[in-house]
Chain A
């Protein structure tokens, strides 16, 4: 049980700033994913929680007390490495028992505990095996079990699913959730895979170049990205980011998307966002899934586009739309009946739209 807080956490490697003034609170017993492209500072953050790296600046608090000076082996942190770091020269049993053995626990107690964890991890019939002979999937389970056995208050997982085959990854995803619930621990999870983060975590912290971009629930991050980076990074295909200009015609604000036409703003929130814009140059963000496609019609609420390409992906179809330089994707049901080169109008539901400042990519009109 532990709440983790970062206060102005900074890590510099020479001239490179890997983590830049990170402020974040990870509630007790929550399951938080640190998400971002490689080199965004998520692993460094994790290593600082574990004590493998020392912060250049700032604080890490466990339940309110600063642990930066606490040595690595006294932090009560369980860490599952990306390559699992299995002690391949030992048996599965010895791997599991390691954390208890080095604490000098009595043999009987160790034995009971190992049995219990082995059962939880479904490794009970593998205990005598040299751990090097395990399959990658089993190694994964062993790595988690080995960390779990010492009952750490915080559990860190570094890309735990990236080495697994696709089928087992699905299975392990749900399994991890079960394990977390069962162990009732704070779990921090590093990944570059947004689907993994979305499906597992209670909260996601999106990072880029050492800076926290957004912290929130998966749903929040998905539908209400705080900036264009998050908008681009989350979702596949990612959010349409359409450069446009704000114009006014009488009382109404319009978004001018060049040759694709103009959209009159009808939604209050969007209007407020448009009014908050420091300049006329903005970016309209709209998820491909929410875009309505209708036959060409001069509604004043849609973009006049042409179907460029249809890309069927399983149950759905990605519709590539274009007008001049503007390229937009829409995701539609497989049965969606349209043809290439057809002229359509794409209507963005304005409640689901976001406006971003074109200069710094930040969302306009508050969260």
Chain B
């Protein structure tokens, strides 16, 4: 039964409305990222949705520390935070996926480590700030505050629940018979995992990596707590971006926000098929 024209129209109106609400904040920030200094403060120029004199100055400033029209130069550019974000998010992701994959396979196949599924889920249940004091003490004691390895390690732990549960659902989908056949052929148990099962969940591993990377890349709190200067990540740097003379560097923050937002959006869209699974720890599949 085809819906009536009125129903179709209503649906489009609602959907377009929702899409507009979704896009307005994003577009406003993008527009700001290309606005020159004198257009940041709407009080002076009035609200205008499109930059009158579009410029790449904001990007230039955060990368080189200088731009036309701004006297004060930036002595700490965004280059290092971007590198820090990339490095720690990647390292944390790789470790989380390795540890999660191994654990997930053990639980999925060997009926050992029965505590793991719920324990890792608990990691996600509690607010990180509620356990931050001992973590900060430990990190300080081990000399891991404001280091790349310290941040990568906490990222590994924070995203372990996701990598573990996601990989577990992927392993659960591989029929036991395939492994049994390989075992009969005389493969050792680890070889079966390495040569038979792992290649079968390649797509799953890839999407898990991307998903976990997005989570790590999106982190703000951990970096805020465990870094000081050398290894601050993009969000921390972005939020602190201000100079003594110019105050809040609105356009630069927007430019940086845009840079920070692009990778997760692209990666997220590329693994759309697995988003539901990832976000619900594998409880639901699309």
Contacts and interface: CB of A to CB of B under 8 A. Distances in A.
Do A and B truly interact?
yes
B1 interface: yes
Nearest to B2: A54
Nearest to A51: B1
Interface in B1-41: 1-2
B39 to A, nearest CB: 50
Interface residues of A, number: 5
Contacts of B1: 51-52, 54, 71-72
Contacts of B2: 54
Nearest to A71: B1
A282 B128 CA distance: 85
Nearest to B1: A72
Interface residues of B, number: 2
6 contacts: A51-B1, A52-B1, A54-B1, A54-B2, A71-B1, A72-B1
State the majority secondary structure of interface residues on A.
loop
Contacts of A52: 1
Contacts of A72: 1
A14 to B, nearest CB: 15
B283 to A, nearest CB: 18
Pick the 6 closest A-B CB pairs, nearest first.
Answer: A72-B1, A54-B2, A51-B1, A71-B1, A54-B1, A52-B1
Nearest to A54: B2
A54 B2 CA distance: 7
B7 to A, nearest CB: 13
Interface of B: 1-2
Task: Summarize B's interface: helix, strand, loop or mixed.
Answer: loop
A354 B2 CA distance: 46
B109 to A, nearest CB: 30
Contacts of A54: 1-2
B217 to A, nearest CB: 40
A267 B1 CA distance: 54
Interface in A54-93: 54, 71-72
A71 to B, nearest CB: 6
A72 to B, nearest CB: 5
Contacts of A51: 1
A54 B3 CA distance: 11
B280 to A, nearest CB: 21
Interface string A89-120: 00000000000000000000000000000000
B2 to A, nearest CB: 6
A51 B1 CA distance: 6
A51 B2 CA distance: 10
A71 B4 CA distance: 11
A71 B2 CA distance: 10
Interface string A144-161: 000000000000000000
A72 B2 CA distance: 11
Nearest to A52: B1
B38 to A, nearest CB: 56
Nearest to A50: B1
B70 to A, nearest CB: 59
Contacts of A71: 1
B8 to A, nearest CB: 14
A72 B1 CA distance: 7
B4 to A, nearest CB: 10
A52 B1 CA distance: 6
B231 to A, nearest CB: 52
A70 to B, nearest CB: 10
A325 B18 CA distance: 70
A52 B2 CA distance: 9
A57 to B, nearest CB: 15
Interface in A207-225: none
A287 to B, nearest CB: 44
B193 to A, nearest CB: 36
Interface string A118-136: 0000000000000000000
A229 B78 CA distance: 75
A8 B102 CA distance: 64
A125 B232 CA distance: 70
A71 B1 CA distance: 7
A54 B1 CA distance: 6
A315 to B, nearest CB: 42
Interface string A28-72: 000000000000000000000001101000000000000000011
B6 to A, nearest CB: 15
Nearest to A73: B1
B17 to A, nearest CB: 28
A67 to B, nearest CB: 12
B192 to A, nearest CB: 36
A194 to B, nearest CB: 32
A54 B4 CA distance: 13
A28 B48 CA distance: 71
B20 to A, nearest CB: 32
